[in-house]
Amino acid sequence: MADDNKKNLDHLFVLTEDNQQSNEKINRPVTTFLQDAFRSLRRNVAAMISLVVLIIIIVMAAFGGQMNEYDSTTQNLSWAKMPPKVQGLENIGWLGLDGTDSETIEASTVEAAKERGLARFKNDEEHITFDVKSEGDGTEDSAKVVATHDVYASKDMEDTYFWFGTDGLGRDLWTRTWEGTRISLFIAFLAAAIDLVIGVAYGGISGYYGGRADNVMQRIIEIITGIPNLVVLILMIIIMGSGIVSISLALAITGWTGMARIVRGEVLKLKNQEFVLASRTLGAPNGRIISRHLIPNVASLIIINTMFTIPSAIFFEAFLSFIGLGLQPPTASLGTLIDDGFKSLTTYPHMLIFPAILISVIMIAFNLLGDGLRDAFDPKMRK
């Protein structure tokens, strides 16, 4: 067989002509940095799901409030604190969307438990059903009864549906939740935008001009970051009062230093690179160098940082509401809704659940999307 091979291959033992050129060809299509980044972002499942979720939430924040016939401010005390009820989902018990309140009561006997169950729901015997879990033997808390109160029936409102229930003043929580989301997102976007403008300008100037100006500007930042954000935030709100704009401003004032530091660092690094020097030797004015060479190269860092500013602003807005510095009623934000919800957490948990889930989902989605963007644009930053 070896002999066969030898014969067949004999003709191949000649020098190949013009061999050296063959290796110069490039066999992969060229992809730009942006294309590359977006491709790897698209492959990041968590980030893409987050993006879709965020888009849905933003659309709902814009239009969700108009999806039923209620508005967010009309009060009707007779409708107060009604549990959520959704068409079609009312028969699936564990979802808790059947328009009933229920409570597990323990007492020494079933009778005593039922007694307390009646008292709990205003003795509205007609619409209370009891489910005896444990008969009890007369000792303390041995009997266990679940009392379920059909709130909608008791108010003769069987055909009414409050999807997220109502709050203590009888306002529709579905509408208020989405309007609250809208306001929370608005505050966050506004704060992030102000943040971005101040931070990029400050960091850009500091990094670009360098020297003395940079030195002074950096000392200022050092002192500002030495002051806890929380303290500044609270003082600002106390002084300016709590409105949408003042909260955004307060958030931006405490938040811009991070952006400024990142931009400065990057500009400092970029401005000594060859392409910038080349542009400068060609006589490009500062403005042109900043806008054409520096900003585009810092852009990805700015976007990533903004992605993390937004959830933190949403958190702080809610936090301010929670400690009593939030928006004034009747304006709702996720924070004020959660704050309200806490007041009746033990008896009417539905008031807390929906805004709490929503704020958590928004925060998670923004963080995941931010992580995805960071990995796609700058794998080195992955810390």
Partner 1 sequence: MARYILQRLGYMIITLFIIATVSFFLMKLMPGSPLGAAQEKLSESQLEIVLDKYGLNDPIPVQYYTYMKNLVQGDLGVSFQFDNREVTGILLDRFGPSLQLGLQALILGSVIGILFGLIAAVYHNGVIDFTSTIIAVLGTSIPSFVFAGLLQYYIGVKLEWLPVATWDGFEYSILPTIALAIFPLATSARFMRTEMVEVLGSDFITTARAKGVGKFGVVFKHGLRNALIPLITIMGPMAVSLLTGTLVIEKIFGVPGIGDQFVNSITQNDYPIIMGTTLFFAFFFILVILIIDILYGIVDPRIRLTGGDK
Partner 2 sequence: MKKILDVKNLNVSFNTYGGEVKAVRGVNFDLHKGETLAIVGESGSGKSVTTKALMGLLPKPHGYVKEGEILFEDKDIAKLSEKELQKIRGKDLSMIFQDPMTSLNPTMKVGTQIMEGLIKHQKMSKTQAKERALELLKLVKIPNAEERIKQYPHQFSGGMRQRVVVAIALACNPKVLIADEPTTALDVTIQAQILDLMKDIQKKTDSSIIFITHDLGVVANVADRVAVMYAGKIVEIGTVDEIFYNPKHPYTWGLLGSMPTLDSDDSELYAIPGTPPDLLNPPKGDAFAPRNQFAMDIDFEEQPPMFKVSDTHYAATWLLDERAPKIDPPESVQKRIDSMASNDGKGDM
Give me the least distance between CB of 265 and partner 1, in Å please.
14
Residue 16 contacts which entry, partner 2, partner 1, none (Cβ below 5-8 A, type-dependent): partner 2
Our CB check for partner 1 shows the closer of 212 and 382 to be 382
**C-alpha distance from residue 129 to each of 101, 116, 117, 151, 160 (Å):** 11, 13, 9, 12, 21
Q: Which helix (H) or strand (E) holds 105?
A: strand 100-107
Per CB under 8 A, the list member of 51, 253, 263, 368 interacting with partner 1 is 368
Burial of 275 (0-12, 13-18, 19+ CB in 10 A): exposed
* 227 contacts partner 1 (rule: CB under 8 A): yes
Which residues does 51 contact at the CB level (< 8 Å), separation at least 6?
Answer: 365, 369
Contact (Cβ atoms closer than 8 angstroms) between residue 371 and residue 47: yes
Q: Is residue 243 near partner 1 by the rule CB under 8 A?
A: no
Among 3, 4, 9, 382, binds partner 2 (CB under 8 A): 9
- Among partner 1, partner 2, none, the one that 134 touches (CB under a kind-dependent 5 to 8 A) is none
Residue 14 interacts with, from partner 2, partner 1, none (CB under 5-8 Å by kind): partner 2
C-alpha 38/C-alpha 319 separation (Å) is 34
Choose from partner 1, partner 2, none: what does 328 bind? Cβ within 5-8 Å by kind: none
Give the residue with the Cβ less far from partner 1, 302 or 325.
325
C-alpha 348, offset from chain centre: 25
Instruction: Choose among partner 2, partner 1, none what residue 346 binds, the Cβ cut-off being 5 to 8 Å by kind.
Output: partner 1
* Residues 306-335 interacting with partner 1 (rule: CB under 8 A): 311, 315, 318-319, 322-325
DSSP letter assigned to residue 328: P
Among 9, 12, 77, 239, binds partner 1 (CB under 8 A): 239
CA distance 342 to 21: 75
Question: At a CB cut-off of 8 Å and minimum separation 6, what does 179 contact?
Answer: 61, 65, 72, 332
- By beta-carbon proximity to partner 2, the closer residue of 15 and 282 is 15
Q: How far is residue 342 CA from its own chain's centroid? A: 20
Q: Compute how many residues bind partner 1; rule: CB under 8 A.
A: 39
Choosing from 1, 3, 4, 6, the residue that interacts with partner 2 (CB under 8 A) is 6
State whether residue 146 is helix, strand or coil: strand
383 touches which of partner 2, partner 1, none (CB within 5 to 8 A by kind)?
partner 1
Q: Confirm or reject binding of residue 23 to partner 2 (CB under 8 A).
A: yes
CB of 45 closer than 8 Å to CB of 53: no
Does 14 bind partner 2 (CB under 8 A)? Our answer is yes
CB of 376 to partner 2, least distance (A): 15
Cα 124 from Cα 149, distance rounded (Å): 8
Determine how many CB atoms are found less than 10 A away from the CB of residue 329. Answer: 10
Kindly state whether residue 345 participates in binding partner 1, applying the rule CB under 8 A: yes
What DSSP string runs through 249-293?
HHHHHHHHHHHHHHHHHHHHHHTTSHHHHHHHHTT--HHHIIIII
Residue 258 binding partner per list partner 2, partner 1, none, with a CB distance cut-off of 5 to 8 Å that depends on partner kind: none
Residues interacting with partner 2, by CB under 8 A?
6, 9-16, 19-20, 22-24
Residues interacting with partner 1, by CB under 8 A?
222-223, 226-231, 234-235, 238-239, 241, 311, 315, 318-319, 322-325, 338, 341-342, 345-346, 349, 352, 356, 359-360, 363-364, 366-368, 371, 382-383
